[in-house]
Structures are given as structure tokens and as C-alpha cells.
């Protein structure tokens, strides 16, 4: 190939890549102008339809039209974000090719014979023209890159990055404050009947319940068997977890309770079947957790954060402790949204200690009598709504999902002193979901969901055992497990049934998707509650839609299965109770008497529900 041919090829490459860069730049600028002109997730059409629905509340066709149109708008928004991000990378690639082509062109041209002498004015004019072309092109490209980043980070204005930059601390074990309480524990054996230490090996159970007892006590039809999780000496046991309600969504964080004789009729306003009610002094969206006769909650505002312990039989406050004097704790609270707040994560307990985390990254441990054991700060979570991932505990470890705008990770902390046992970085975006524990292939795993991955980690080492890329958007719902599968879902993404043994998707659906509420799986059925008021039931193995109920009011709290019944409370505080079956059989719709955003908790013969202002305990009188 002659040098003339090489010059021509370099020229063509520069020309094509230059046109490509200008085209992509203009498209990115147009996209940015479109974003700047109107809110990307606002729709006048939906507003008109919603106003029309107020006068036609029973118009099912109109409701379906609103859902479909809203789904179309949201999908278009996320697709636009993907296009902008992709366009930015293409622009950078095109600019590099253009620069290399231009450099090659001038380098080759300099090797050929001397050109015919030009006048000084001609040379100056040509140089000036080239400079203006380069300046103009560079300006367009720079503006396009700025526009692309401004478009992709549309929600970034709510992050409070300056505060994060000032307050983030390193993630070592330095700054952990530990109080030596010796062997302090709850001395009342009636209140804490599960304190005996054991390291025995347990009989095998079906893996589809992930070491969790079925509420009916009957065997399932899954032929795959796995051992129960076996704890080390002195640690919490599987039987203790199944007998209590020690974390968000109960045993293993999976949304299924073993307790029975749960009421189906109550009224918080009139007092029907109300055993007790107590006002909570500080706001919070976390759910009650229960161990023996003790109920734990947290609350917080910008001035103070507290953890509460109540007697489950009387509702009496046994103790309340402020979360303060944490080493490394930021001086100011992060900016959070009203529907997340500063105390969204639920606590967890191992029967000896109770653990809590807050939106500023403070994590603290008390013993069952309210004596402080340890406290530390994990760094300010860089979340534009606030931190809401709940804690869960197993085998003397506390697991923390810490997926933020600054990167994702999962940590295991020593339950006795708060030191980091292991920490695993995650290739994912921000998530508000909570960890779930399950046994697959004989190994206890902590399972997390975020954008874009659902993954399982070894609870002993933190090793990533499997992952599947199937989520997108701002992930709020946690996973659930059953039938040997992991079920993950998020609005404007998909509902995916994942086989963790092969890291493959067995079936998926994209019609009924939750925004906040986590799905639940029990007895071969998968229950999903949406933010627009639909409660649906799928066949967990096949994905076949079995039934759907439209209640018109959305669900933020997760549905829970207890006593062979489905309990799902909507944001108006109405609990929708259905039989756990392949047909929709409504058993009751009792009212709390105030709005309900927190997932309920269960004890034998009791259901506990946190409202906006109070904690209620209902039981059959």
C-alpha cells in the first residue's frame, strides 16, 4: 500500500469518525434539551386520566389504561437513560478514533515531497480555518458529554454529595466503640426461652424452604434435599429463628412465619381484637422484630435516634436507648425523602443482642436488657432517598447490604464486638433491598438484589457463589426463596425466577411488578403486591398467573404468609387477608385505623402492625 493510499484511508477515517462524533453529540444535546424542558417521569396524559378516575373510581378499563400508559412512560424513561449512557461512551470512542486518524493523516502527509510554496496569507487562513473547525467540534463534543452526564444523573440533585465527602470514614475496624458487658443476658427464662447453646447436627429438610419450617408443618414435594443451617457453638440456631420473628419479614428474611392462630378480624379505631396499642415517640418505617416476649423497633429524626423494647403481652415499654456517641458518626444527618426517613431499616436480634442501623451509617448493638455492647459508623450512605436496607443475623454475624451511589458491597460484622469479619465489593448500583438468608447446595448464603445483579454470597467467607444480571432501575423489593429458586422483582424491570445452582432464569414476567413491597413464596405459590394496588398470585414453578385482586390502594409493606394465610396491608392501613391457595379466597379486610407502610410481624396468636404513629398488637379475644 502506497503512502498516498494510507493518507487517503487516514483522511476517510478522520472524516467518518468526525461526522459520527458530531451526529452523536447533536443527539445527546437534543436529548438533554428534552430532559430539561420537562420532567422525564411526568405525564399530563396520566394526570388527566387520574383526575378522570376520581369521578369514575370503578372504571376498571380506565385503571388498566393508566397502568399501561404509566408502564410505557417508565420504560421509555429507563430506555432513554440507557441510550444517553451508551451515546456518551460511543462519543468518547469516536473522539479517540478521530484523534488517531487525524494524527496518522498529518504524520503521513509530512513524509511526502515538499508542497508548492504558499503565501503567508494562505497558510495563516488555512491554519485559522482548521482551528475554528477544531474549536467548534470540540465545543459540541464537550457540551454533549456534559449534557449526557447531566441526563444520566437526573436524580443526582438529591444525593447530598458534599455531606458525604466530608463525613465518609474508612471501612476498617478502627473507631468501633465496644462496651464490655461480660456475659450479660436476659435473666428471665420465660421472656427468653431459647438461650441454650448447641452445636448439634440437624436432620435434612427440603431446600425449597431454605432451612425454614413450613407454617403447616407438612412436607413439600420438592425432591431436592439440603441440610438445615448448622450454627457454631453458642450461636443462634435454626429452631430458635423459626420459633421467633427476628428480622424484617421474619425468619431468614423470607416473608413466611411459623406462628398460628393469627386473627383475621380487628379494628384499630374501635378496639376490636386490639390487645394493646402504644404511641411511638419518633418516626420510622421499620417493622417490629420479636424474640420471646420482647418486641423491638427504632425511630429517629435529625436530632435523635432511638431503639425501643416492648413487652409483647402488655405493650409496656421495657427500655429505650438513644443511639449516640458513635465513633466517626457524622455531625449532620443526610438528606432523605419523607417516605424513607432516617429509621427505615428494621432491626435484627439473635436472642442475646439486638442490632440497628440508621441512615447516617451508624450501626449499634445492645443486649436484651438495653445495655450497650458496641457501636460504629460504616460511613455515610450515599443514597438520594436514604438508607433502608435492613439487617439480618446468623452464626454470630450481622450482615449489612451497603449498596450506594458510591458503589456496592456486603459486610459481615462480628455480632459480639462489631469488627468486620469479611467485606465483599459488588459490581452493582444503588439498592434499597434487604438481605435474605437461604441454603443452596448445602451452603448458607446471603442473597442480595440490586441493579443489575441478583447474587448469593457464602456467609462464612463472603465469596460470591453465583450471580444473574436481570434487574434494572432503583431496586427496592428484596428477593424471596422457594421451590429451589430465588425470586427477584422490580418495577419497570422484570419478575425473574432464578435457579441459583445453574445461575439461570427459569421463567420471567414483566406485567405485575412491585415497586417497594417484596414478593413472598410459600406452598408453591408466589405472591406479588404492586404500588398501584394489585395483589397477584403465580405458580412458583411455572410462572402461570393464578389470580389477581385489585384493591385500588397501593402496597408499600411486603405481603407475609402466616397460618396458611396471606397478609398484605395497603397504604391506607387496610389488611387484605386471603387463603394461601390457587384461588383468590378473601378471609377479611380489617382496618388499622391509620396509614400503614411497615410490614407486619407475627407471634403465636398475635399480629403486630406499626402505623404512622403507633404500634398495634391484635389477637383473638
> What is the per-residue pLDDT for 522?
98
pLDDT of residue 108 exceeding 80 = no
> What is the per-residue pLDDT for 104?
80
* Rounded alpha-carbon distances, angstroms, from residue 612 to 169, 287, 427, 577: 33, 11, 36, 21
- Lowest-confidence range among 35-44, 183-192, 296-305? 183-192
pLDDT of residue 217 exceeding 60 = no
Model pTM above 0.85: no
- Lowest-confidence range among 207-221, 413-427, 449-463? 207-221
In contact, 431 and 418? CB cutoff 8 Å: no
Which residues fall within 8 angstroms of residue 86, CB to CB, at 6 or more apart?
A: none
* Rounded alpha-carbon distances, angstroms, from residue 228 to 2, 207, 213, 350, 411: 74, 8, 10, 17, 23
pLDDT of residue 539 exceeding 70 = yes
Q: Is 144 helix (H, G, I), strand (E, B) or coil?
A: helix
Beta-sheet strand order (sheet of 601-603): 274-279, 614-619, 606-610, 601-603
User: Could you tell me which of 341, 351, 348, 334 has the C-alpha nearest to residue 284?
Assistant: 341
In contact, 590 and 599? CB cutoff 8 Å: no
DSSP string, 157-168: GGS-HHHHHHH-
Q: Give dist(CA 157, CA 121) in Å, integer.
A: 51
pLDDT of residue 495 exceeding 80 = yes
> What is the per-residue pLDDT for 39?
56
For residues 66-88, give the mean pLDDT: 71
pLDDT of residue 240 exceeding 90 = yes
Task: Report the percentage of the chain scoring pLDDT > 90.
Answer: 61
Q: Is 105 helix (H, G, I), strand (E, B) or coil?
A: helix
> What is the per-residue pLDDT for 142?
67
pLDDT of residue 216 exceeding 70 = no
Q: Give dist(CA 397, CA 412) in Å, integer.
A: 6
Q: Give dist(CA 114, CA 110) in Å, integer.
A: 8
The 3-class SS string of 298-341 reads EEECCCCEEEEEEECCCCCEEEEEECCCCCCCCCCCCCCCCCCC
- Lowest-confidence range among 175-179, 354-358, 548-552? 175-179
Model confidence band, residue 399 (pLDDT cutoffs 50, 70, 90): very high
Q: What is the pLDDT of residues 518-533, one digit of tens each?
A: 999 999 999 999 999 9
Q: Give dist(CA 266, CA 575) in Å, integer.
A: 10
In contact, 506 and 499? CB cutoff 8 Å: yes
> What is the per-residue pLDDT for 218?
35
Task: Report the percentage of the chain scoring pLDDT > 70.
Answer: 77
User: Could you tell me which of 318, 328, 322 has the C-alpha nearest to residue 343?
Assistant: 322
Can you read off the three cell numbers belonging to residue 397? Answer: 454475624
User: Could you tell me which of 377, 379, 363, 375 has the C-alpha nearest to residue 165?
Assistant: 379
454 compared with 211, residue with greater pLDDT: 454
Angle, vertex CA 78, rays to CA 75 and CA 83, nearest 5: 120
Dihedral of the CA atoms 195, 196, 199, 201 (nearest 10)?
A: -100
284 compared with 98, residue with greater pLDDT: 284
Q: Give dist(CA 506, CA 499) in Å, integer.
A: 7
Model confidence band, residue 22 (pLDDT cutoffs 50, 70, 90): confident
> What is the per-residue pLDDT for 513?
96
Model confidence band, residue 4 (pLDDT cutoffs 50, 70, 90): confident
33 compared with 305, residue with greater pLDDT: 305
Q: Give dist(CA 206, CA 213) in Å, integer.
A: 9
Enumerate the β-bridge partners of residue 204. 227
> What is the per-residue pLDDT for 85?
72
Can you read off the three cell numbers belonging to residue 265? Answer: 378480624
Which residues fall within 8 angstroms of residue 118, CB to CB, at 6 or more apart?
A: 126
Residue 56 burial (CB count, 10 A): 11
pLDDT of residue 406 exceeding 50 = yes
User: Could you tell me which of 105, 108, 170, 139 has the C-alpha nearest to residue 25?
Assistant: 139
> What is the per-residue pLDDT for 49?
76
- Looking at every residue in the chain, the average pLDDT score rounds to 83
Positive/negative CA dihedral, 601, 433, 513, 342: positive
Region of 155 (left: φ > 0; alpha: ψ -120 to 50; beta: rest) is alpha
pLDDT of residue 472 exceeding 90 = yes
Q: What is the pLDDT of residues 264-318, one digit of tens each?
A: 999 999 999 999 999 999 999 999 999 999 999 999 999 999 999 999 999 999 9
- Lowest-confidence range among 115-119, 155-159, 196-200, 345-349? 196-200
Model confidence band, residue 192 (pLDDT cutoffs 50, 70, 90): very low
pLDDT of residue 150 exceeding 60 = no
Residue spans of the domains in the chain: they are: 3-154, 166-181+238-619
Q: Is 384 helix (H, G, I), strand (E, B) or coil?
A: coil
Which CATH code is given to the segment(s) 166-181+238-619? 2.130.10.10
pLDDT of residue 176 exceeding 70 = no
pLDDT of residue 180 exceeding 80 = no
Model confidence band, residue 140 (pLDDT cutoffs 50, 70, 90): low
Enumerate the β-bridge partners of residue 596. none
Amino acid at each position: 500500500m502506497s503512502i498516498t493510499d494510507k493518507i487517503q484511508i487516514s483522511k476517510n477515517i478522520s472524516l467518518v469518525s468526525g461526522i459520527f462524533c458530531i451526529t452523536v453529540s447533536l443527539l445527546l444535546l437534543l436529548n438533554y434539551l428534552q430532559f430539561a424542558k420537562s420532567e422525564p417521569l411526568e405525564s399530563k396524559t396520566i394526570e388527566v386520566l387520574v383526575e378522570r378516575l376520581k369521578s369514575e373510581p370503578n372504571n376498571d378499563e380506565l385503571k388498566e389504561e393508566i397502568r399501561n400508559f404509566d408502564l410505557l412512560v417508565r420504560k421509555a424513561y429507563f430506555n432513554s437513560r440507557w441510550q444517553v449512557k451508551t451515546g456518551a461512551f460511543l462519543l468518547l470512542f469516536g473522539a479517540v478514533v478521530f484523534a488517531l486518524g487525524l494524527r496518522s493523516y498529518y504524520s503521513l502527509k509530512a513524509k511526502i515531497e515538499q508542497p508548492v510554496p504558499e503565501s503567508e496569507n494562505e497558510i495563516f487562513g488555512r491554519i485559522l480555518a482548521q482551528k475554528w473547525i477544531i474549536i467548534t467540534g470540540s465545543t459540541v463534543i464537550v457540551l454533549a458529554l456534559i449534557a449526557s452526564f447531566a441526563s444520566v444523573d437526573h436524580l443526582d440533585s438529591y444525593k447530598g454529595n458534599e455531606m458525604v465527602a466530608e463525613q465518609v470514614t474508612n471501612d476498617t475496624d478502627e473507631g468501633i466503640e465496644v462496651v464490655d458487658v461480660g456475659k450479660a443476658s436476659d435473666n428471665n427464662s420465660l421472656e427468653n426461652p431459647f438461650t441454650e447453646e448447641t452445636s448439634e447436627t440437624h436432620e435434612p429438610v427440603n431446600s425449597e424452604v431454605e432451612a425454614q419450617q413450613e407454617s403447616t408443618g407438612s412436607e413439600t414435594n420438592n425432591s431436592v434435599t439440603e441440610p438445615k443451617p448448622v450454627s457454631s457453638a453458642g450461636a443462634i440456631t435454626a429452631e430458635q429463628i423459626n420459633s421467633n420473628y427476628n428480622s424484617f419479614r421474619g425468619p431468614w428474611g423470607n416473608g413466611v412465619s411459623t406462628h398460628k392462630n393469627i386473627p383475621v378480624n380487628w379494628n384499630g379505631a374501635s378496639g376490636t381484637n386490639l390487645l394493646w396499642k402504644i404511641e411511638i415517640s419518633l418516626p420510622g418505617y421499620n417493622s417490629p422484630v420479636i424474640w420471646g416476649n420482647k418486641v423491638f423497633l427504632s425511630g429517629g429524626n435529625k436530632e435523635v435516634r432511638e431503639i425501643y423494647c416492648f413487652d409483647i403481652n402488655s405493650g409496656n415499654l421495657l427500655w429505650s436507648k438513644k443511639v449516640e456517641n458513635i465513633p466517626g458518626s457524622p455531625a449532620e444527618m443526610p438528606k432523605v425523602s419523607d417516605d424513607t426517613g432516617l429509621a427505615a431499616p428494621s432491626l435484627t436480634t439473635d436472642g442475646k443482642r439486638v442490632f440497628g442501623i440508621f441512615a447516617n451509617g451508624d450501626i449499634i448493638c445492645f443486649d436484651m436488657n438495653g445495655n450497650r455492647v458496641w457501636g460504629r459508623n460504616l460511613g455515610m450512605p450515599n443514597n438520594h432517598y436514604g438508607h433502608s436496607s435492613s439487617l439480618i443475623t446468623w452464626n454470630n454475624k450481622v450482615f449489612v447490604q451497603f449498596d450506594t451511589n458510591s458503589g456496592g458491597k456486603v459486610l459481615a460484622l462480628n455480632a459480639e464486638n462489631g469488627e468486620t469479619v469479611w467485606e465483599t465489593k459488588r459490581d452493582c448500583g444503588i439498592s434499597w433491598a434487604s438481605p435474605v438468608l437461604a441454603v443452596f447446595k448445602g451452603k448458607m448464603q446471603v442473597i442480595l438484589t440490586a441493579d443489575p445483579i441478583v447474587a448469593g454470597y457464602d456467609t462464612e467467607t463472603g465469596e460470591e457463589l453465583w450471580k444473574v444480571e436481570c434487574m434494572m432501575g432503583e431496586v427496592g423489593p428484596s428477593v424471596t426463596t422457594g421451590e429451589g429458586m430465588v425470586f427477584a422483582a422490580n418495577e419497570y424491570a422484570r419478575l425473574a425466577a432464578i435457579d441459583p445452582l445453574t445461575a439461570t432464569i427459569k421463567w420471567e414476567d414483566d406485567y405485575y411488578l412491585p415497586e417497594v413491597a417484596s414478593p413472598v413464596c410459600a406452598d408453591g405459590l408466589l405472591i406479588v403486591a404492586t404500588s398501584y394496588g394489585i395483589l397477584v398470585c403465580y405458580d412458583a414453578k411455572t410462572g402461570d398467573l393464578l389470580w389477581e385482586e385489585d384493591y385500588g390502594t397501593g402496597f408499600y409493606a411486603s405481603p407475609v404468609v402466616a397460618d396458611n394465610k396471606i397478609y398484605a396491608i395497603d397504604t391506607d392501613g387496610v389488611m387484605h387477608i386471603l387463603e394461601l391457595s390457587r384461588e383468590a379466597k378473601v378471609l377479611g379486610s380489617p382496618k388499622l385505623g391509620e396509614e400503614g407502610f411497615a410490614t407486619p410481624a407475627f407471634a403465636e396468636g398475635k399480629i403486630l402492625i406499626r402505623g404512622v404513629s403507633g404500634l398495634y398488637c391484635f389477637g383473638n379475644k
